[in-house]
Amino acid sequence: MMPRRSWEDEELVLLRDNARRFFERECVPHELRWRAQHHAERELWNKAGAAGILCASIPEEYGGGGGHFLHEAVICEEQWYALSYAFSNNVHSGIVAHYLLAYGSQAQKQRWLPGMATGEIVTAIAMTEPGAGTDLQRIRTHARREGDEYVINGSKIFITNGLHADLVCVAVKTDVNAGAKGVSLLMVETAGLKGFRRGQPLDKIGQKMNDTTELFFDEVRVPVENLLGGPEGEGQGFRQLMQQLPRERLIIAVGSVALMRRAIDETLAHVRERQIFGQALMKQQNTRFVLAECETQARVAQAYVDDCIARLQADTLDVPTAAMAKWWTTDTACRVVDACVQLFGGYGYMTEYPIARLYTDVRVGRIYGGANEVMKEIIARSLEQG
Ligand SMILES: Cc1cc2nc3c(=O)[nH]c(=O)nc-3n(C[C@H](O)[C@H](O)[C@H](O)COP(=O)(O)OP(=O)(O)OC[C@H]3O[C@@H](n4cnc5c(N)ncnc54)[C@H](O)[C@@H]3O)c2cc1C
């Protein structure tokens, strides 16, 4: 179980209990089927909405839970601890909803946020392309203005929630000659949209139950009022993306600590039971030292992440500090899970065991949300500048 945090008041404890029960009841029993088909059923989003899991940190006037980052953190911890990534609430409530809140017009917020909170509208964010991931300035998906519409051509890859998304925040080039200043964010409503197509869910090595797809745009027309940031929003996409990154990276760090916690809990249960050379595996000095190291790493990570959360709440979380949290927790989580798998022996290699699934689930943390090499570059640049 995730331990109660120093910052957790009674309301957050109730939210945590509610989220834990939701994932145990609505997700865990269906995991096998969802992993096989690489996605969950669409109705799961409506159930999550009804249970108060979605848009917890969005103001009540837009249908959200009226909470703040702590509410998102508690839900994220419970979802990742349960290994129930069947729908990416982090992308939906933690990222897209906050883009709308920060840059959306009043009309855009009123139009989309309430539906996002109930699960009637599922969202995704589409930046990555086959030829441009880390180096986002290279994106080629293009939107040309024609009267009151933008016409989009291009494709996106690795898009989380892509299969069910009703609304996609798409990074496009509105000026191909302006580099980063030519990037804009367009909100694309997918229902019955001519020229829009999605690929089958991609077969990933981990987090298999979460749908990740390609999206294709062929002369797709969206009204100009779907531009994020109003009439001035053209060319602001890169800046908008950068501003939201510390928050997004912190949520990955929050989830990564929950994965460490789950790995250690699973392993403790196993080594206490497993008999070897006439005693519990826990009694072997190596087991004791490995778990002592894992526990220390998890607690140190937790302390740093809690400090980042406090900074975010105080609006003082800077980009390098969030980058440190992202690279260190994702790297450490991979090391902790790997050490735990070893203590399971052959059972740690069988997907029937949560620890084996954790081994592949955890790996993506070092790649997405900005590759860890990029995090180190950001930190180094801040050191260079003093
Ligand atoms: C499961 C999953 C879900 C995803 N969900 C989404 C989503 O919802 N929306 C979305 O837009 N994208 C999503 N992505 C894409 C993800 O953000 C990219 O995969 C990531 O940004 C890396 O881009 P790339 O894959 O093109 O790798 P590349 O950009 O080709 O980078 C490859 C490697 O190069 C190295 N590298 C990169 N930059 C540097 C540098 N500056 N210095 C040194 N080395 C460097 C790193 O080791 C990096 O891993 C998802 C990816 C995965 C795997």
Q: Is the shortest distance between the CB of 158 and ligand 1 below 6 Å?
A: yes
Q: Is the shortest distance between the CB of 374 and ligand 1 below 6 Å?
A: yes
What is the predicted pLDDT for the residue at 231? Answer: 83
DSSP characters for 143-186?
Answer: EEEETTEEEEEEEEEEEETTTT-SEEEEEEES-TTSGGGGEEEE
What is the predicted pLDDT for the residue at 317? Answer: 95
Distance 302 CA to ligand 1 centre (A): 25
Q: Is the shortest distance between the CB of 373 and ligand 1 below 6 Å?
A: yes
Q: At a CB cut-off of 8 Å and minimum separation 6, what does 22 contact? A: 47, 48, 51, 53
Distance 366 CA to ligand 1 centre (A): 9
Task: Give nearest CA residue, ligand 1 atom 11.
Answer: 127
CB burial of residue 222 (10 Å; 0-12, 13-18, 19+): buried
Q: Compute and round to an integer the Cα radius of gyration of the chain.
A: 21
Q: What sign does the CA torsion over 15, 20, 23, 25 have?
A: negative
Q: At a CB cut-off of 8 Å and minimum separation 6, what does 164 contact? A: 39, 42, 45, 87, 122, 211
Distance 343 CA to ligand 1 centre (A): 31
Q: Is the shortest distance between the CB of 371 and ligand 1 below 6 Å?
A: yes
Q: Give Cα separations from 360 to 336, 350, 351 (angstroms).
A: 13, 12, 10
- Counting from 1 in the atom list of ligand 1, the atom nearest the Cα of 367 is 49
- Counting from 1 in the atom list of ligand 1, the atom nearest the Cα of 376 is 42
What amino acid occupies position 127? Answer: M
Question: From the candidates 10, 248, 293, 384, which is the catalytic residue?
Answer: 248
Q: At a CB cut-off of 8 Å and minimum separation 6, what does 319 contact? A: 242, 245, 246, 378, 382
- Counting from 1 in the atom list of ligand 1, the atom nearest the Cα of 88 is 8
Q: What is the 3-state secondary structure (H, E, C) of 243-302?
A: HHHHHHHHHHHHHHHHHHHHHHHHHHHHHHHCEECCEEHHHCHHHHHHHHHHHHHHHHHH
Distance 277 CA to ligand 1 centre (A): 45
Query: Which of 368, 378, 379, 381 to probe ligand 1 with, by most ligand atoms within 8 A of CB?
Result: 368
State the alpha helices, DSSP H only, in the chain: 10-22, 31-37, 43-50, 69-81, 89, 97-103, 106-118, 237-273, 285-313, 319-343, 354-361, 372-385
Instruction: Yes or no: say if 2 and 81 are a contact pair by the CB < 8 Å rule.
Output: yes
Task: Report the alpha-carbon distance of residue 97 to residue 178 in Å, rounded.
Answer: 28
DSSP state of 46: H
- Counting from 1 in the atom list of ligand 1, the atom nearest the Cα of 210 is 1
Residue (of 17, 173, 132) closest to 82 by Cα position:
17
Q: At a CB cut-off of 8 Å and minimum separation 6, what does 85 contact? A: 79, 207, 209, 210, 361
Residue ranges in the chain whose pLDDT is less than 50: none
What is the predicted pLDDT for the residue at 88? Answer: 97
First to last CA, the chain: 41
Q: Is the shortest distance between the CB of 377 and ligand 1 below 6 Å?
A: yes
Task: Report the alpha-carbon distance of residue 5 to residue 8 in Å, rounded.
Answer: 5
**363 token code pair:** 């790996």
Query: Which of 99, 128, 205, 326 to probe ligand 1 with, by most ligand atoms within 8 A of CB?
Result: 128
248 part of the active site: yes
pTM for the whole structure: 0.96
Q: Is the shortest distance between the CB of 368 and ligand 1 below 6 Å?
A: yes
Q: What sign does the CA torsion over 75, 81, 84, 85 have?
A: positive
Q: Is the shortest distance between the CB of 171 and ligand 1 below 6 Å?
A: no
- Counting from 1 in the atom list of ligand 1, the atom nearest the Cα of 134 is 29
Query: Which of 158, 204, 213 to probe ligand 1 with, by most ligand atoms within 8 A of CB?
Result: 158
Q: Is the shortest distance between the CB of 327 and ligand 1 below 6 Å?
A: no
What is the predicted pLDDT for the residue at 230? Answer: 86
Domains of the chain: 10-121 (1.10.540.10), 125-235 (2.40.110.10), 239-385 (1.20.140.10)
Distance 347 CA to ligand 1 centre (A): 31
What is the predicted pLDDT for the residue at 386? Answer: 76
Q: Is the shortest distance between the CB of 90 and ligand 1 below 6 Å?
A: no
Q: At a CB cut-off of 8 Å and minimum separation 6, what does 113 contact? A: 55, 58, 62, 63, 64, 97, 100, 101, 104
- Counting from 1 in the atom list of ligand 1, the atom nearest the Cα of 162 is 8
Q: Is the shortest distance between the CB of 204 and ligand 1 below 6 Å?
A: yes
Q: Is the shortest distance between the CB of 96 and ligand 1 below 6 Å?
A: no
